[in-house]
Amino acid sequence: MLKTSNSMCQALTKKGKPCRAAATEGGLCFFHANPNKAVELGRIGGRRNGKSPVGSEPLPNLDSAAAVRDTVNRLITDVYAGKLHPRIATGLAPLMQLQLRVLEKMDLEQRLTKIERQLKAMSENR
Ligand SMILES: [Zn+2]
């Protein structure tokens, strides 16, 4: 057991190392004494332990309409099976829609570029 110090936080960081932050009266630093504050401030970090918050598997690359469709399928299945909190699915839904819209736009742009190239080629061959 390490020698405890009153001046340093006695908790461990997320990486499992001694925190070393300045401790408050309880022997813990501000964040370790107020874990909810840390969660509020650093939600981005990881939930390394336990289940993934997005269900059974990490989300795939949503780089095609088919991938978005497959993922929506899986989210529905996961919510139904109780593997995914409906609130997370609710939060993801508008993002999926946004992604679909972007994909549609990209698709249109690609087609437009192709047509423009063909038109240019036609006019040059004249
Ligand atoms: Zn600490």
Q: Evaluate whether residue 97 is within a structural domain.
A: yes
- The alpha carbon of 32 and the centre of ligand 1 are apart by a number of angstroms equal to 5
Mark whether 41 and 92 lie in a shared domain: no
The pLDDT of residue 37 is 66
- The alpha carbon of 52 and the centre of ligand 1 are apart by a number of angstroms equal to 25
Mark whether 117 and 71 lie in a shared domain: yes
pLDDT tens for residues 92-111? 999 999 999 999 999 999 99
The helix, strand and coil proportions of the chain, stated in percent and rounded to the nearest 5, come to 55, 5, 45
Query: Mean per-residue pLDDT for 30-50?
Result: 62
- The alpha carbon of 44 and the centre of ligand 1 are apart by a number of angstroms equal to 18
The pLDDT of residue 116 is 95
- The alpha carbon of 5 and the centre of ligand 1 are apart by a number of angstroms equal to 12
pTM: 0.47
Mark whether 29 and 72 lie in a shared domain: no
Mark whether 24 and 69 lie in a shared domain: no
pLDDT tens for residues 86-95? 998 999 999 9
The domain of 15 spans 1-49
Structural domains counted in the chain: 2
- The alpha carbon of 49 and the centre of ligand 1 are apart by a number of angstroms equal to 19
Residue 123 CA to its chain's centroid (Å): 48
pLDDT tens for residues 68-78? 999 999 999 99
Q: Evaluate whether residue 45 is within a structural domain.
A: yes
- The alpha carbon of 48 and the centre of ligand 1 are apart by a number of angstroms equal to 18
Q: Evaluate whether residue 56 is within a structural domain.
A: no
Mark whether 104 and 69 lie in a shared domain: yes
Query: Which whole-number Å values give the CA distances from 66 to 45, 62, 100, 111, 120, in the listed order?
Result: 29, 8, 10, 18, 32
- The alpha carbon of 58 and the centre of ligand 1 are apart by a number of angstroms equal to 30
- The alpha carbon of 22 and the centre of ligand 1 are apart by a number of angstroms equal to 8
Mark whether 91 and 44 lie in a shared domain: no
Mark whether 40 and 75 lie in a shared domain: no
- The alpha carbon of 37 and the centre of ligand 1 are apart by a number of angstroms equal to 12
Identify whether the C-beta of residue 9 lies closer than 8 Å to the C-beta of residue 32. Answer: yes
Mark whether 41 and 69 lie in a shared domain: no
